[in-house]
Amino acid sequence: MQSPVNPPLSSPSACKILIVEDEYIIANDLELILQEAGYPVIGVADSVSEAVAIMDQQKPDIVLLDIYLKGRETGIDLAKQLDDLGIPFIYISANDNKSVLEAVKATQPIGYIVKPFREKDILTTLEISRYRHAHSVEMKLREEKALQIALMDALSAPESWEQKLLKAAMVLQQHVPFDFMSIQYQKNGTIQHFNYYRVGFEEYQTIRLADFQQMTNTPIDQLLQLQVDQLPPGPVRYTDDSFSVLCKQSPFRQLLAKTFRFESALTIPLRVGPVDTFSISFLSRKSDAYLSRHVSLLERLEQPVVLMLERVLAFEEVARLSEQLKRENNYLQEEVKTLANFEEIIGRSQRLLRVFDQVTQVANTDTTVLILGESGTGKELIARALHNLSARKDKILVKINCATLPATLIESELFGHEKGSFTGAFEKRIGKFELAQGGTIFLDEIGEMPLELQAKLLRVLQEKEIERVGGRTPIKTDVRVLAATNRYLEKEVAEGRFRMDLYYRLATFPITLPTLRERPADIPLLAQFFAQRSARKLGKPFRGISETVLNELINYSWPGNIRELENVIEQAVIINDGHTPLTLGRPLVNSLFSRTMAGPTLHPDTSLIGYGQSGMSTPKDLQDVKQIQQETEREYILAILKQTNGRIRGSGGAAELMNLKPTTLEYRMEKLGIRKVLSAQPPTSSSGIN
């Protein structure tokens, strides 16, 4: 099955570009601009035939495409071929003819550049287009999920089959265009026909067999003898000669084509249960109405739609048992409220139970919640629990990581943009807040949000409205906001990196997640859970975890928290022979309550990191435990920094070795005073903090 989109284009050097432009000066300018910016240009073509010849030799990642070219074929003709091949393209044209622009829009380009252009126009549009293309997989999945939900709603409506299928046809029209949809349903040897003729925008006429008798003077008994078509499995498109052959195979379809002058079709048979069959045909007056993307969409929808139909056909039995199920469901929901909604969060320590109480108290409100905690403590799981326990649980939970979005695009991503608001904004696009309408939005890594955008987020929280980029009219929103960060926002506010008013607005109800070292009683439960899950995934038997290993896990400080524990356990399962209890795949670097000889210690008078002796240390009270923990963590970080010559970021850096985000590691270093010590060392050519 063809993938909906190409793989993401990570950098200019990885994005091969084909220029299709018949004006030499413009083509030459484009080639120079792109090459100087680091984009490899695989060729320059001045006609469709030359462009196809180049693509036969090497497939481009993006095509810059003029509309009018040498020869009879235009850029729009080539765009249809590119769509079939799954190659994104950007139009470059000075044409403003309305009919041409409508044809351009129908081909779904990823960008449009107006001549004359500037170098900035080209590079900015390419950057935006690459970003949108690389992230379009998620949006396409969301669109298909929404389509499935809409189809389910249409087919589950308490109406006649005629009305159900009409609603389903109206939903599909937005994704698979047609002038006529014919659905033939065979159940227990009985055939029913449902035909929907599109007479206007969102206007459909239901045509019955009796209507065909009046329109075509075909006897009703002849129409009743029509059988369900024997179509090849899966979706198939027909055009030109193949469409003529298809019509000859079915007298009914031949009658349709003659009456309505159809020229192409897209068909799919659906086997529902052991004997029932649905045969769906989309017909169009355009010979090129159906493209590869329509076939791919139906391929992906085939199984979900079959499941929907099976569910609908079983509706009568479900209705008979609904009252009993309703009583049972009411009871189970009460149980779920206290237990099941935390099934993904393992543990029963007092610190964690206190978090559960807070989640239960605030979940069913619209209060903004700020989830605080170190990296790897499960902030996203808490956000999901807050959503699932709220009145918005039937709506969407939209998650967005503020640290991963480019600063130049984060506003458009969050709030959307209007058509023409900036170069490349070829059409209006809704943002994540509009996508989450009626549901919940989870802003992870909120501490990474740029200052200029924090003011706009504050307005959303205060005024309950957003404004798209380039828009003039505020849009009311009904979205519950959850935010999370591993930073100390009070410190960020004090140092001017985070707005105080936004902090107080977000921190209406803060929930602080305990670190794994603060809930040692949960470590055996988590270890057992991760071990069993990894063993199932790898197809290995699980023989338990020895007491020695459990004690070692409990006494470790876990700087990477639950994420680190999961990785350690998975590695242990991988190397386990399946006949003995788990042993650790690697020694843990330090221990919470004891440190052996040859542990890493700081020697500022001699070198950055040295190795010395430290005897056994027994804590006297909780404060002593915390001090030992901090010293142990400090020594561990310093030891890793020595291995990496002080390098934090990048491949082979300390953050990667410790399975932490660079920002998290830098924060821990600053808290433990490591950065100050490092900065006091004389600079060397072989080490340094990056």
Task: Spell out the SS3 assignment of 510-561.
Answer: EEECCCHHHCHHHHHHHHHHHHHHHHHHHCCCCCCECHHHHHHHHHCCCCCH
Element (H, E) at 7: none
- β-strand partners of 200: 203
The residue among 98 and 360 whose pLDDT is bigger is 360
pLDDT at 57 over 70: yes
pLDDT at 41 over 80: yes
More confident of the two residues 223 and 379: 379
Lowest mean pLDDT segment, chosen from 127-136, 233-242, 321-330: 321-330
The domain total for the chain is 5
Q: How far is CA 84 from the centre of its chain?
A: 24
Check whether residue 121 and residue 169 sit in a common domain.
no
Tens digits of residue pLDDT in 217-234: 666 555 544 444 567 778
Where does a domain end: 134, 149, 184?
134
Shared domain for 50 and 123, answered yes or no, is: yes
Q: Which residue has the higher pLDDT, 31 or 138?
A: 31
| CATH number of the domain that residue 496 is part of | 3.40.50.300
In a domain, 486, yes or no: yes
Q: What percent of the chain lies above the pLDDT cut of 90?
A: 6
Answer yes or no: do 125 and 176 share one domain: no
Mean pLDDT across 73-80: 87
* 492 and 374 in a common domain: yes
Mean pLDDT calculated for residue range 662-677: 77
Mean pLDDT, to the nearest integer, of 618-635? 63
pLDDT tens-digit series, residues 308-325 = 887 777 764 565 456 445
- Higher-pLDDT residue of 294, 314: 294
Domain that holds residue 545: 516-575
Task: Please tell me which residue, 627 or 577, carries the higher pLDDT value.
Answer: 577
Q: Domain boundary at 106, 134, 162, which?
A: 134
DSSP 329: H
Residue 2 domain flag: no
- 114 belongs to a structural domain: yes
338, part of any domain: no
State whether 557 and 457 are in the same domain: no
Q: Is residue 209 in a domain? A: yes
Per the domain annotation, does 152 fall within a domain? Answer: yes
- Distance, CA of 273 to CA of 29 (rounded, Å): 61
Q: How far apart are CA 127 and CA 37, in angstroms?
A: 11
> Are residue 368 and residue 450 in the same domain, yes or no?
yes
Residues 173 and 288 in one domain: yes
Task: Find the DSSP H helices in 426-488.
Answer: 432-435, 451-463
pTM, full prediction? 0.40
Residues in the chain: 690
Residue 325 lies in a domain: no
Residues 72 and 189 in one domain: no
Give the integer Cα–Cα distance in Å for 171 and 280: 14
**Is the same domain home to 460 and 567?**
no
Residues 246, 147 share a domain: yes
Average pLDDT over residues 422-449: 80
Which residue among 134, 168, 191 closes a domain?
A: 134
Angle at 492 between CA 682 and CA 357, to 5 degrees: 125
pLDDT of residue 612: 31
Query: What is the band of 658 on the pLDDT scale with cuts at 50, 70, 90?
Result: confident
Determine the pLDDT at residue 484. 93
What is each CA distance from 158 to 61, 153, 154, 171, 316, in whole angstroms?
47, 10, 9, 17, 11
- On whether both 522 and 488 belong to a single domain, the answer is no
Q: Which token pair is 377?
A: 């403590």
